[in-house]
Amino acid sequence: MIDTSFRLVLLLLVFSFKFSLAQLTTFTENAHERPFEYPNNTLPVNPPNSSADFIITIDTNNVFNQILPSHFGLNFPHFIGDNVLEEENFLTHTSNLSSMYYRIPGGSGSDRYFWDGNIPSNIRDDAQISVNDLLDATDYRIGPEEYMNIIEDLNSNAIVVVNAGYARYGIEENNVQIAAGYAADFVRYLNTTLGKNIKYWEVGNELYGPWEAGHEVDGNVITGAEYGDIFNIFVDSMKAVDPSIKIGAVCYPIDESYDFWTRGVLQTVENTADFLVIHDYFKRKPNPNNVTYDEMLNAVIEVQQDVSNVKEMVSNYTSKDENHFPIAMTEFNSKTGEREIAMANALFITNVLAEQIKYGIQMSLLWNLENGLGQDGGDHGILARNSQEVEEHTPRPTYYAYYLMQKYFGDKMIFCYSPDTTVISYSTIFANDGLGFMLINTSGESKIVELSSNYYKSDYYWHELYADNEIDKKVYINGQTSDNSEGGPLNYSNIASYHRPYENDSRFELKPYSITFIANIGNNFATYTANWSNNIELYPNPASTNINIKGNFCEYIISSFDGKKILYGQESSINTSLLNQGVYFIKFRHLNKFNNQKIIIQ
């Protein structure tokens, strides 16, 4: 028989092993509170006269995921040129976005970008590029110091993609080491010389694809394992300069694609990558304008599929738990032609971003800040570029959606259910004791909804973003727009918020093709908080194998006497058999109020 002391040691070893498989804190360690900022201007609006068509259910005790600073980000491409950094309209609209993460110097250009202008005079036989296609950051493009200055002015952060294509098309025998050293010099320049302390880095862009510089060189197509070997050498060189940086490896979210690319990557980088990078351009067709509105909306399911596929590959091809690596979607958008600059994309992108948060993606970077019209009439930029219809840097519908989503999304996403499949609903908790809602009406019909929650505050504030049709490129915010044929109101930062007291009425009208952003917040929380704090009960306490919790709470955290976090969860019965005897502290959270108690394990 195994004696009790040995069994306890075995259990603790199992617990320690499981703890070691916990997810890396690459992005969560930067989490901070997101309070609702009360609007300066309000306009009183009465509740709708009609009864609700259906009820949207919210449960504040069912927390999905934390909303992180890295969830709000954009690609900031080098090719828009350094001249835009001094243009008033560009600065106005980028400044009106809250603190963002900007990915530089862009996508595929990253694997041709020479940050100091030191371009090689010759390269190997690359199937995609010649030496004339290499990019000099010191010409009209945005260079490193210019990037750092504008991003700092915007109170934002950067994630940098280093040139991994150079490791393939460089002509020297030790070209991988030379390219890794060049990337390390980039780290040194930004973090030491300029003192910018850029935390997040990617090694290359989409090297799995034939469109990428470095994909096929001298007739050799790179494999996932070869990329993994390059990645590891880059990590060694870059972290020798700054050990605090976090570096992501490029994956693809479908196992068999690109000759099982991700399998080879994961098997090589499982002990060196700080996060995994994926991209998704939803619902592709040869002619993007042939993607229907319904096909576009249905493609949102790819977010859940991407996460599930990556976790399965991590579980199958590494020794890590499926949740070990944080996932960063550092490029995403629809691929829908003219709908990219219409209300349809605002509806779609807010849905996709919320789904990324819901399913645990921890960095979300939309492609693109500015891009330019394509031959199909589409434009991935949230600000206009090279348009025949509007001035440079005019906000597109998706810009307004991002602007408002930042204001109305709180700290944590909670359970929110709409029984109507044409109305997609999300709810979050604010740091200053209120709830945020984002209600997306994808249909051409007005809907009256009632918000049913286990928690209400005294006041509602809200903004409505909508268009007459999903394909319309002209949008409205709270009834206001501009004289432009495309885009929306240019005075959007001064548009009054709608307001009304709660007064036991939580009905709202959702216009056709609209996103309604709502905050339920007020000043009547003190009494409720005191009552909640007194209603949390623990039993038995002291305990040996199990502690039960009576009362409402969102989550608990158990810490040791010296402050180390031991356990956390949401269940009302805690298995304490793996804890050593002694005194512990347990902290309960309900919304954004906390209750601390002491427990004894004997």
Residue with the bigger pLDDT between 362 and 587: it is 362
Q: What is the pLDDT of residue 16?
A: 36
Question: Distance (Å, rounded) from C-alpha 273 to C-alpha 203?
Answer: 10
pLDDT tens digits, one per residue of 149-163: 999 999 999 999 999
Question: Distance (Å, rounded) from C-alpha 505 to C-alpha 45?
Answer: 13
Helix axes 301-317, 257-269, angle to 10 degrees: 50
pLDDT band at 11 (very low <50, low <70, confident <90, very high): very low
- Which DSSP letter does residue 350 get? H
Q: What is the pLDDT of residue 457?
A: 83
pLDDT at 473 over 80: yes
> Which residues lie closer than 8 Å to 292 by C-beta, 6 or more apart?
none
pLDDT band at 556 (very low <50, low <70, confident <90, very high): confident
Q: What is the pLDDT of residue 523?
A: 57
pLDDT at 389 over 70: yes
Mean pLDDT check: name the lowest of 205-219, 327-341, 525-539. Answer: 525-539
Which DSSP helix (H) or strand (E) runs through 412?
Answer: strand 412-417
pLDDT at 322 over 50: yes
- Asked if 348 and 513 count as a contact pair (C-beta separation under 8 A), the reply is no
Percent of the chain with pLDDT over 70: 93
pLDDT tens digits, one per residue of 31-68: 888 889 889 899 999 999 999 999 999 999 898 999 99
Q: What is the pLDDT of residue 455?
A: 81
Question: Distance (Å, rounded) from C-alpha 50 to C-alpha 458?
Answer: 22
Tell me what the pLDDT averaged over the chain comes to. 90
pLDDT at 449 over 80: yes
Residue that the structure tokens 């039960």 belong to: 548
Q: Tell me, yes or no, if the two domains 42-65+411-521 and 68-332+345-368 fold the same way.
A: no
pLDDT band at 551 (very low <50, low <70, confident <90, very high): confident
pLDDT at 562 over 80: no
The 3-state secondary structure of 73-128 reads: EEECCHHHCHHHHHCHHHHHHHHHCCCCEEEECCCHHHHHEECCCCCCCCCCCECC
Q: What contacts 24+ positions apart, CB below 8 Å, involve 575-583? A: 575/545, 575/546, 576/543, 576/544, 576/545, 576/546, 576/547, 576/601, 577/11, 577/544, 577/545, 577/546, 578/11, 578/12, 578/14, 578/15, 580/12
Percent of the chain with pLDDT over 90: 76
Q: What is the pLDDT of residue 33?
A: 83
Runs of H (alpha helix) within 459-543: 526-534
Q: Does the domain formed by 42-65+411-521 have CATH 3.90.1150.10?
A: no
Mean pLDDT check: name the lowest of 3-12, 163-172, 373-382, 395-404. Answer: 3-12
Question: Distance (Å, rounded) from C-alpha 69 to C-alpha 67?
Answer: 7
- Asked if 60 and 554 count as a contact pair (C-beta separation under 8 A), the reply is yes
Cα–Cα–Cα angle for 492, 493, 495, nearest 5°? Answer: 60
Region 173-196 average pLDDT: 97
Q: What is the pLDDT of residue 14?
A: 37
- 493: nearest Cα among 203, 200, 96, 117: 96
Q: What is the pLDDT of residue 108?
A: 95
Region 456-467 average pLDDT: 93
pLDDT at 258 over 90: yes
SS3 450: strand
Region 272-300 average pLDDT: 95
- Asked if 333 and 367 count as a contact pair (C-beta separation under 8 A), the reply is yes
Match domain 526-601 to its CATH number in 2.40.70.10, 3.20.20.70, 2.60.40.3080, 2.40.50.140.
2.60.40.3080
Q: Which two tokens stand for residue 103?
A: 């990915």
pLDDT at 586 over 80: yes
Which residue ranges make up each domain of the chain? 42-65+411-521, 68-332+345-368, 526-601
- Name the amino acid, one letter, at 224: G
Region 267-293 average pLDDT: 95
CATH class label, 68-332+345-368: alpha beta
Q: What is the pLDDT of residue 1?
A: 39
φ/ψ region of 386 (left if φ > 0, alpha if ψ in -120 to 50, else beta) reads: left
- Asked if 440 and 423 count as a contact pair (C-beta separation under 8 A), the reply is yes
pTM: 0.84
Question: Distance (Å, rounded) from C-alpha 269 to C-alpha 288?
Answer: 35
Distances (CA, A) of 532 to 215, 292, 413, 521, 595: 59, 49, 21, 18, 9
User: How, if at all, do strands 157-162 and 101-104 pair?
Assistant: parallel
Q: What is the pLDDT of residue 51?
A: 95
Region 211-236 average pLDDT: 98
pLDDT at 15 over 50: no
Q: What is the pLDDT of residue 558?
A: 87
